[in-house]
Amino acid sequence: MNDFEPVSAWAARNSGVPCISLSHQFAVLQAESPRPKKKDWIGKMVLSNYAPVQTGFGFHFRKYADNIFTPVIRQQVRDQETSLQDHITVYLPAYDNERIVKVLSNIRTEEWHVFSKHTTREFRVGNLWIRPIQNELFLKSMASAKAVLCGAGFETPAEAMFLKKKLLVIPMKNQYEQQCNAAALSEMGVPVLKSLKKKHIPFIENWLHNGRVVQVDYKNETAEIVEKLFTEFLKNKKEETEFPFFMETETLT
């Protein structure tokens, strides 16, 4: 079983060992999953060949196909008590603190809780509270926030929607997976910004005043996932016995 990890995936491929994927990236690569309007053949090729597998199951914001499940929400997140306080939780690792402060400090009516990988200490700049990344503090901030501004990764947007938070995402440039995530979130009604710039302040303010919570139903599907994994494993095991698995296999396209 492989979670989009290249060493074991390529070792299995080269050794003729069955390899089953269980990852978000596998779902992104499925034909039924949303794609950005702008084509990125190189990005798709890299994602397709990074960790080659024979088959698998994926996780996405919606169940786009039978082999795609909705996100696995950590129990720590499921157990969070939610509230609506007067702050917005921010996690934008692609941007340094200077850029974030330069833009968000112009929206003076709001309190911003910025979690940053670019600092090891807490400090304030006007109405922005900059804090180092710490899982428990971040979850508490997000669970009590009135909105969440983050990148277009998978885990944080999924958890924000599960916690019923108004969400705005900014996908990383030249990152195909995040561009695909942004396309999927946009289809669901989540607003997407191309970048964090001063010219986008009116857009952010409009989102804060008029944005809505996107409703999702992310049930715990762990038992079903495990059952399907074992079914697929036994199927591959049978095929391996009937037909030697050292034959050439195709990479996902």
In which band, very low, low, confident or very high, does the pLDDT at 133 lie, cut at 50, 70 and 90? very high
Decide if pLDDT at 250 tops 60: no
253 assigned to some structural domain: no
Strand segments, DSSP code E, in the chain are 20-23, 55-59, 68-69, 87-91, 111-116, 123-125, 128-132, 147-151, 166-170
What is the CATH number for 201? 3.40.50.2000
| pLDDT range class, residue 219, cuts 50, 70, 90 | very high
Per DSSP bridges, beta strands 166-170 and 147-151 are: parallel
Instruction: Tell me, yes or no, whether 1 lies in a domain.
Output: no
Say what the pLDDT of residue 236 is.
Answer: 64
Report if residue 175 sits inside a domain. Answer: yes
Q: Identify whether residues 81 and 107 lie together within a single domain.
A: yes
Q: In the chain, how many domains are there?
A: 2
Domain assignment of residue 116, given as a range: 75-210
Q: Could you tell me if 24 and 139 lie in one domain?
A: no
Confidence of residue 139 (pLDDT cuts 50, 70, 90): very high
Q: Are residues 80 and 205 in the same domain?
A: yes
What pLDDT was estimated at residue 243?
44
Cβ–Cβ under 8 Å, residues 129 and 111? yes
**204 in a structural domain:** yes
- Provide the pLDDT for residue 234: 72
**Do 80 and 201 fall into the same domain?**
yes
